[in-house]
Amino acid sequence: MSSFNYIAPVTVEETLSILHKQGSNARIAAGCTNIMPDIASKKITECLLVDISGLDELRGINVVDNRIKIGALTTISQLRHSEVIEHSASVLWQACSQFADPLVRNRATICGNMAKPSPAADGVVPLLALEATVTVESLTTGKRELPIEEFLAGPGKSALRPDELILSVSFKAANDRLGSFIKFGLRKAMAISLINIAVVLELNGKTITRTKIALGSVGPTALRARQTEGFLIGREITPEVLSQAAELVKSEISPIGDIRASREYRLHLAGVLLRRAVEAAMA
């Protein structure tokens, strides 16, 4: 039998106090697009639902000291309609444009996407390529800042402790970066990514001076393809260089086969999408 209690704190302080007292019995509810399906399918059968949707201090996109700071309750729609995100973090903007459908985007929050992260989470992959930092807080340990790579701990697992709340995610603002996000699913809309990829580039003329490449659904967590990044730095993009990079990226990932795609197909896709994403970023 299911048993739920509900509470709706109105400040971060009150939320932290509830999490401190309740520990793992508490479940933060933000946009509820993951939690509600989990309750409906009885993956969650009892808990105290801590509805944080009234915490207005966790909403919004701000630029502080050349860093873009996104409050935990900012929705995918708000990111998609933000000029700051479109112009200074285009890789994230593209991911938000390909995320679910307008109804889900209006509720789904960026931090709800990363708290118990699917390896295919579309919001997480661009944040990896932007080298984002996650800010969390609890009553016992205060505020902690974690690079998103450290925050991702496994399929559906993050470094978040039961009494911690995600406050925001932030990354360096840059107008001169070129970015590309590609989501490959089994249909054009409302698809879970078979693979998703985010590429951020900086160029000097035609030569790549910096690049960050992140992929999702190719391992237990979304990951950076560091060897491929290293290979591309200092090179001009030619068909030959792209072919070599496409082979290299396959050696850095360990996708599984499941009902959506075989391991071999995902490996093949990774090479194809890397090439397309670099070309799209350059274009």
Ligand X SMILES: Cc1cc2nc3c(=O)[nH]c(=O)nc-3n(C[C@H](O)[C@H](O)[C@H](O)COP(=O)(O)OP(=O)(O)OC[C@H]3O[C@@H](n4cnc5c(N)ncnc54)[C@H](O)[C@@H]3O)c2cc1C
Binding flags for ligand X, 62-81, as an x/- string (CB under 6 A): ----------x---------
* Distance between start and end Cα atoms, the chain: 56
Q: Is 26 helix (H, G, I), strand (E, B) or coil?
A: strand
User: Residue 65 CB, nearest distance to ligand X (Å)?
Assistant: 23
Q: How many residues bind ligand X (CB under 6 A)?
A: 29
Q: Are strands 178-184 and 165-172 parallel, antiparallel or unpaired?
A: unpaired
User: Residue 75 CB, nearest distance to ligand X (Å)?
Assistant: 8
Q: What is the DSSP letter of 11?
A: S
Residue 213 in contact with residue 225, Cβ under 8 Å? Answer: yes
User: Residue 71 CB, nearest distance to ligand X (Å)?
Assistant: 9
| CA dist., res. 231 & res. 228, Å (int) | 5
If the CB atoms of residues 216 and 271 are measured against ligand X, the closer one turns out to be: 216
Q: Which of residues 13-52 bind ligand X (CB under 6 A)?
A: 27-35, 37
Which amino acid appears at position 65 of this protein?
A: D
If the CB atoms of residues 30 and 237 are measured against ligand X, the closer one turns out to be: 30
User: Residue 273 CB, nearest distance to ligand X (Å)?
Assistant: 16
Q: Is 243 helix (H, G, I), strand (E, B) or coil?
A: helix
If the CB atoms of residues 15 and 88 are measured against ligand X, the closer one turns out to be: 15
If the CB atoms of residues 160 and 198 are measured against ligand X, the closer one turns out to be: 160
DSSP string, 146-212: EEHHHHEEETTEES--TT-EEEEEEEE--SS-EEEEEEE-SSSSS---SEEEEEEEEEETTEEEEEE
Binding flags for ligand X, 149-188, as an x/- string (CB under 6 A): -----------x----xx----------------------
Residue nearest to ligand X according to CB distances in the complex: 112
Within 8 A by CB and 6+ apart from 215, the residues are 125, 195, 196, 197, 198, 222, 223, 225, 249, 253, 270
Q: Which of residues 83-142 bind ligand X (CB under 6 A)?
A: 99-100, 104, 107-109, 111-113, 115-116, 121-123
User: Residue 189 CB, nearest distance to ligand X (Å)?
Assistant: 9
Residue 139 in contact with residue 9, Cβ under 8 Å? Answer: no
Interface positions with ligand X (CB under 6 A)? 27-35, 37, 72, 99-100, 104, 107-109, 111-113, 115-116, 121-123, 160, 165-166, 190
